[in-house]
Structure 1
Amino acid sequence: MKLNTIKPGSGSSKNRKRVGRGVGSGLGKTCGRGHKGQKSRAGGFHKVGFEGGQMPLQRRLPKRGFVVYRKKCVQEVKLSSLLSLEKDEFDPSTLYEFNLIKYINNPIKIIADSQICARAIKLKNLAVTRGVKNMIENSGGKIELTIEDVNGI
């Protein structure tokens, strides 16, 4: 094999377009650019998204980013703040009365911050962590959880 005999495989390379070489070539006269207009001229291309002066699509649509604007944040309440109150039964309305939560309709979750649960308390329609569940059940308390009321946790 010699370097001067090497050729590309058949069908792997095409001949370049030879424009403006008469009507018989199929690319004569307007050279495949159509008639008149900005795109037919040399250097006559515009930026991506340009719509001829009309307000472009990316500027017409509302800008909301990647944040879900209807998302409900989970409100966390510490177990020690429940134990500091003198009630034994807690539900979302009770927590709202004592200003432990800001919104009554957003999901609520009780989290642990101390190692012991001294007294038996009853939680209704509140989500809890695994540690809080163990603490309350060991102290003789009870947890009633309805999934419909605390969806999304």
Structure 2
Amino acid sequence: MMTHDVTKAAGRHPRRKRVGRGESSGMGRQAGRGNKGAQSRSGYSRNPIYEGGQMPMFRRLAKRGFSNVNFRREYAPVNIGWLDANCSGSVSLANLRTALHLKKDELVKVLGGGELKKKLSVEAHAFSAAAKAAIEKAGGSVKIIEQADPAESWKAKRNTAKNAGPAKKPA
């Protein structure tokens, strides 16, 4: 047997059904799209959350619990072991942001993972108790950068004179 004698297995790659190409093709006229309506037209795409007019699931389910999505604080973690391996002397927030490729509004928290043998002066937004103890034990210093509490700033903004509304008339 030669390579030119080898044939494809029958039915292995079925021909693509060409729809809308005449009645005798078996897929003419409506081309498998049913009768009229948006779904039979070209360019139509169904909204994945639309449920055909019935009350949608997200409105049927109860809204429960509390979400602090606007007020939570998320920190980028940095271990003291990483600081020991990659830093020396004074570690400023700007240096950490550059080294860790952080955005300018991201908060940094130093954690106590690893060992610290160098004397470091570290500044960050927060420190774990273990990290603070390890840095001070090695003879270094810790500087906590104060950040505004988002909930407090929101309350202050909400209670301004602009948002107070019209003054009530005395009765």
Normalising by the residue count of structure 1, what TM-score does the alignment of the two structures yield? 0.47
Question: Where is the helix percentage greater, Structure 1 or Structure 2?
Answer: 2
Kindly name which structure, 1 or 2, has the bigger radius of gyration based on alpha carbons.
1
Normalising by the residue count of structure 2, what TM-score does the alignment of the two structures yield? 0.43
